Structure 1
Amino acid sequence: MSITPYAVPAETVRHELEIKKSRFITYLAHTPGEADAKQFIQSLRNAYPDARHHCWAFVAGRPESSVQWGCGDDGEPAGTAGKPMLAQLSGAKVGEICAVVVRYFGGIKLGTGGLVKAYGTSVQQALSLLTTREVAVTVPYTISCEYAHIDTIEALLKQYHGIQLDAAFSHNVQLAVRIDARFIEGFLDALKNQTRGQAQACSTEHQ
């Protein structure tokens, strides 16, 4: 697992381009997973039901995680829309992003080369308008501790860029947390030292 933070869209972008009377309306949005991307694509089909094509591409996870890439031509000649759109997204090194280009046909055919250029340029120009924010890679942990250790653990979470998600209280405390992957080793060492080994942390990433 890569522990390096990566960029994701900070907000949705809309860009419009006209080529030989065809309108290419491009949207870029933050979609944290493949299901989110597909939902976003469908939302634009619903928003522009009279458009000829709703072509799309997404990078659903980390920018370099190609197993979470996808694209579709939606009726355009194979390879003329989705692939050039995805090429622009993957080259931008932005993760968790979906691009949809809504095309209103203007009556003049662009040819396969013209389509590749039109869809690629549409996404390229939209990306030039995109603002991003950084996402840290985090790992989920459950911490079992005594009540007396709660303040110590909260301070350590703050120090090592962790967040508390949930807490369950019984004879002891069970804390569900996420820790920045870059700082896990330091956090676990500090947790052991400052609680004298009484607090136990267990990764729940693959449970």
Structure 2
Amino acid sequence: MSVALETLAAPWRHEEDIRKSRFLAQAAPVGTTTEALAFVAAAGDATATHNCWAYRIGDAYRFNDDGEPGGTAGRPMLQAIDGQGCDRVVVVVTRWYGGIKLGAGGLARAYGGTAAECLRLAPRVAIVPMGRLLIHCDFAELALLTARIREMDGAIERETFVADGAELTVLAPLARLDTIAARVVDLSRGRIRPRRVD
């Protein structure tokens, strides 16, 4: 059985003082690597000693130690993301050096621990796998179909009018796609055959 992954419901911040250094973790939900890198750029503080970061979006992940010894910041932060069961998340931990060296183990614990605590405290939501159906219907059936689709947790992602009706792209939780497709077939008495598009 696979573990259900979560992402953050909203951006979150958490701050810790560790042996006179200040560590500020900022985390946010992201859907693309472009969004993650934009957050990294916006969250970093040019006056800080280091702005280390990590993100995971499905199989895509990256991390950066921003001048800290290799493997002491970014990788522990990525491990914190994974350890907290998160996906589609970016974390930036900013450090203001306080004059006491922490050593490699201390740095890894500080960066990883601050990131993990930030993610632990942040409000989260489950990631629901989504899928799409393509439906072609007559104009007369459009209002009824869209109402029924919405009742079953489907959203009309795109609606295009063509000569003989409408083409609908329906976005819905994967677990609901077969139910929606079967209901559309029933409502149309078998004339409409929804097609999966993934």
When the two structures are superposed, what TM-score results if normalisation uses the length of structure 1? 0.87
Q: Distance in 1 between matches of 2:187 and 2:193?
A: 12
CA contact (8 A) 1:162 1:178 kept: yes
Q: CA deviation at 1:73?
A: 0.9
User: What SS does the corresponding residue of 2:104 show, helix, strand or coil?
Assistant: helix
Residue 159 of structure 1 aligns to which amino acid in structure 2? Answer: E
Q: Distance in 1 between matches of 2:5 and 2:151?
A: 21
Aligned ranges for residues 23-172 of structure 1 at < 5 Å? 23-45=22-44, 48-61=45-58, 67-170=59-162, 171-172=164-165
Q: Distance in 1 between matches of 2:191 and 2:147?
A: 16
User: What SS does the corresponding residue of 2:121 show, helix, strand or coil?
Assistant: coil
Report how many aligned residue pairs link the two structures.
196
- Structure 1 runs of 4+ off > 3 angstroms? none
Residue 29 of structure 1 aligns to which amino acid in structure 2? Answer: A
For residues 178-198 of structure 1, the C-alpha deviation after alignment (integer angstroms, 9 at most, x for no partner) is: 121002122212211220222
CA contact (8 A) 2:54 2:63 kept: yes
Q: Which runs of 5+ in 2 are unaligned?
A: none
RMSD: 1.8
Q: Distance in 2 between matches of 1:128 and 1:169?
A: 47
For residues 31-53 of structure 1, the C-alpha deviation after alignment (integer angstroms, 9 at most, x for no partner) is: 112111111111123xx111111
User: What SS does the corresponding residue of 1:84 show, helix, strand or coil?
Assistant: helix
Q: CA deviation at 1:27?
A: 0.4
Q: Distance in 2 between matches of 1:92 and 1:80?
A: 19
Q: CA deviation at 1:55?
A: 0.6
When the two structures are superposed, what TM-score results if normalisation uses the length of structure 2? 0.91
